Chains A and B, each alone.
Chain A
Amino acid sequence: MEKNLIDLRNITKVYVMGTEELFALKGVDLQINKNDYLAIMGPSGSGKSTLMNIIGCLDTPSSGEYHLNGKNVSEMDDDELAEIRNLEIGFVFQTFNLLARSDALHNVELPLIYKGLPKSERIEKAEEALYNVGLEDRMTHKPNELSGGQRQRVAIARALVNDPSIILADEPTGNLDSKTGNEIMELLEELNKKGNTIIIVTHEEEIALHANRVVKIRDGSIESDVLSEKGKAAMQRKEIEI
């Protein structure tokens, strides 16, 4: 069990609003292996983003235990979590969340700055990451000089630049047309093939088809957790290999 990259045990998240308590997550158990490709689905307000933020160490659970790579994350302080986010996790957001005043290169460089790498090494890695998402000719463009799809690629390059073990994407295609959305999904699929663990939140069935495993959430609880056709196929391949 310790092999699991992500191990959530009885996670709850409670928001206290005045006198009311709002349970965004009601005891979630979830294990995710290395190199998994997981889609989280569910209606609006069901707790997808909340779960995602906890997995990504952006948020802390109200109760329950969370082990990431064998480390007990639920006991870490803010700065330790920041370090985990910096080194282990790459975020891709629906709204891109790029720094508006900085060009693509600087946006991608940022995680490396917080990691403390010297300038030359940073530039080299950031350029490589942008090259990998096909933006080598847009490095000096600011976000408002890029299309939505290009912005999301910058965000993906930023998520990848530090070589994290997990990519978290919360509705990465939500603000894109279906064609650009598909391009982004292909990019993520390639990353998964290269060994990255990927978790995406979506409410589009077609998007979820890219994943190996689909987790459905309703009202803060896991409703179902199944392998997709693709996942089953991959499973069979693995069994044959063994």
Chain B
Amino acid sequence: MNLFLEIKENLIISYKAITANKLRSFLATLGIVIGITSVTLMQTAIEGINRAFEKSISAVGADVLYVQKFEWFGKEDWSFYRNRKDITLTQYDYLERNIQTAASVCPSVGTTKTLKYQDLVLENVFVLGTTNEYQITFGANMEEGRFFTQKESDGGYPVCVIGMDIRNAFFENTNPIGKTIKIGTYSFRVIGVVEKQGSLLGLVSLDNRVIVPIDRFFSLFGTKRSLSINIKAGDINNLDETKEEVISIMRKARKVPFGDRDDFGVNQQEAFKATYESLTSLIKIIGSLITSLSLIVGSVGIANIMFVSVKERTKEIGIRKAIGAKKRTILLQFLIESVSICLLGGLIGIMISFPISLLIDKFVLPTAMPLWVIMLGLVVSVIFGVLAGFFPAYNAAKMDPVDSLRYE
């Protein structure tokens, strides 16, 4: 008889068998319910942590390359990188003029200063010097006002763009545009406010900063600083190509002899991801293993019930065989019963874990159970159903018809 018909008939049989022993079936599914609940919640939590991480590094920009003396998460000693030649504006100019595959390039340099507005004071504010290209490179959106223009940038005008933290501290009830603030001892006119950025890795606030034209920065705060050259790739899919180009131009700009290793780093968001992966993968594996353990315990329970069920229905198996059921038919009958029980447990488990994930989303960690986790839960239920049911079903299939008919 064909497989489809066989499965359909067996589904009806297992429905009858399960409903004939409601309490027992319910108790049998309990282990799988707990297992699937914990596995899906664990995966949702991992997903949530991943998303939170991605969000926290989104400011770094997935399509932005950072040419710096330092390599992010580099293996060498800190002094090794510090002793490299500084990255200068001349090198930036050279790169900017020659690069083909970039959407935009901007230099940046930073320091911390004290900010003052009237009698309000903010200590340790990050001051960033850059060009008007910064806005394109990092896709910075303005909350109020505007970013500085190329003219203001090239001319080193005393204008600044402030972050939301500063805006909230200095200009709670007033319009900041056109006001004059002091960075260190120097006066700057506020021309814009960048919209809220959040923080990097939850550590460094990106809103507690003030952005000024780089020429102004150098002339006021000193030139003996190494730059970061920030390159936004023309196409994120060709990031590697852009990286190759950046390396070859920078080697020329810095006159690195042929055969020597690069004396600069080309950093990208990937570095954060790789480090994050290596730090968290073990935790994830262990977490998944522990939650799977509850599934294994659950399926042992199912296997146990299935053995009992097969034993109890020895006579039924004998009858079915006497009137023509083949081994495969009987095997399938009990496999499908066990898969049905597990799948039922899986569905109940998901019905429990889904609302819990919504609660977690609301109160703990921004996450929602992704569809693939639900699918995973169901697939895993089926797999464990097959595993738990196989030996009992095999026992049933190979029973001798005469013996089983005689069984009381």
Residues of B with C-beta under 8 A to A101: 16-17, 20
Chain A CB within 10 A, most for which of B17, B321, B323, B324: B323
Tell whether A219 is near chain B: CB-to-CB under 8 Å: no
Tell whether B196 is near chain A: CB-to-CB under 8 Å: no
Bitwise, A30-64 to B at CB < 8 A (1) or not (0) is: 00000000000000000000000100101100000
Bitwise, B4-15 to A at CB < 8 A (1) or not (0) is: 010001000000
- A158 CA to B322 CA in the complex, in Å? 11
Tell whether A139 is near chain B: CB-to-CB under 8 Å: no
Tell whether B320 is near chain A: CB-to-CB under 8 Å: yes
Considering only residues 86-118 of chain A, those with a C-beta below 8 Å from chain B are: 86-87, 91, 93, 97-102, 110-111, 113-116, 118
- A115 CA to B5 CA in the complex, in Å? 11
Residues of A with C-beta under 8 A to B329: 114
Q: Contact between B326 and A53 (Cβ–Cβ < 8 Å)? A: no
- A100 CA to B319 CA in the complex, in Å? 11
- A82 CA to B321 CA in the complex, in Å? 7
Tell whether B401 is near chain A: CB-to-CB under 8 Å: yes
Given known contacts A97-B405, A101-B16, A113-B9, A82 and B316 CB-to-CB distance under 8 angstroms? no
- A173 CA to B316 CA in the complex, in Å? 21
- A79 CA to B20 CA in the complex, in Å? 29
Residues of B with C-beta under 8 A to A59: 401-402
Tell whether A186 is near chain B: CB-to-CB under 8 Å: no
Contact of B324 among A85, A97, A102 (CB under 8 A): A85
Tell whether A78 is near chain B: CB-to-CB under 8 Å: yes
Give min CB distance, A153 to chain B, whole Å: 16
Residues of A with C-beta under 8 A to B324: 82-83, 85-87, 111, 114-115, 162
Residues of B with C-beta under 8 A to A115: 1, 324
Q: Contact between B327 and A79 (Cβ–Cβ < 8 Å)? A: yes
Residues of A with C-beta under 8 A to B16: 101-102
Q: Which residue of A lies closest to B10 (CB)?
A: A113
Tell whether B315 is near chain A: CB-to-CB under 8 Å: yes
Tell whether B220 is near chain A: CB-to-CB under 8 Å: no
User: Could you count the A-B residue pairs with CB atoms below 8 Å apart for me: how many are there?
Assistant: 67
Tell whether B364 is near chain A: CB-to-CB under 8 Å: no
Q: Which residue of A lies closest to B315 (CB)?
A: A97
Q: Contact between A97 and B1 (Cβ–Cβ < 8 Å)? A: no
Tell whether B325 is near chain A: CB-to-CB under 8 Å: yes
Q: Which residue of B lies closest to A97 (CB)?
A: B319
Q: Contact between A78 and B319 (Cβ–Cβ < 8 Å)? A: no
Residues of A with C-beta under 8 A to B316: 99-100
Q: Which residue of A lies closest to B16 (CB)?
A: A101
- A208 CA to B322 CA in the complex, in Å? 25
Considering only residues 299-336 of chain B, those with a C-beta below 8 Å from chain A are: 315-316, 318-329
Residues of A with C-beta under 8 A to B20: 101
Bitwise, B116-132 to A at CB < 8 A (1) or not (0) is: 00000000000000000
Residues of B with C-beta under 8 A to A114: 1, 320, 323-326, 329
Residues of B with C-beta under 8 A to A87: 324
Given known contacts A82-B321, A110-B320, A116 and B326 CB-to-CB distance under 8 angstroms? no
Give min CB distance, A36 to chain B, whole Å: 22
- A98 CA to B405 CA in the complex, in Å? 11
- A83 CA to B322 CA in the complex, in Å? 10
Q: Which residue of B lies closest to A84 (CB)?
A: B324
- A232 CA to B298 CA in the complex, in Å? 67
- A99 CA to B322 CA in the complex, in Å? 12
Residues of A with C-beta under 8 A to B319: 97-99
Residues of A with C-beta under 8 A to B278: none
Q: Contact between B402 and A91 (Cβ–Cβ < 8 Å)? A: no
Given known contacts A101-B16, A116-B1, A86 and B323 CB-to-CB distance under 8 angstroms? yes
Considering only residues 60-85 of chain A, those with a C-beta below 8 Å from chain B are: 78-79, 82-83, 85
Residues of B with C-beta under 8 A to A158: 323
- A206 CA to B9 CA in the complex, in Å? 42
Give min CB distance, A40 to chain B, whole Å: 17
Q: Contact between B323 and A111 (Cβ–Cβ < 8 Å)? A: yes
Residues of A with C-beta under 8 A to B325: 82, 114
Chain A residues at the B interface, C-beta cutoff of 8 Å: 53, 56, 58-59, 78-79, 82-83, 85-87, 91, 93, 97-102, 110-111, 113-116, 118, 158, 162
Chain B residues at the A interface, C-beta cutoff of 8 Å: 1-2, 5, 9, 16-17, 20, 315-316, 318-329, 401-402, 405
Add 13 more A-B contacts to A58-B401, A82-B327 (CB < 8 A).
A58-B322, A59-B402, A82-B325, A87-B324, A97-B322, A99-B319, A100-B316, A111-B324, A113-B5, A114-B323, A114-B325, A115-B1, A162-B324
Q: Which 6 A/B pairs are nearest by Cβ-Cβ distance? A: A86-B324, A116-B1, A114-B324, A79-B326, A111-B323, A82-B326
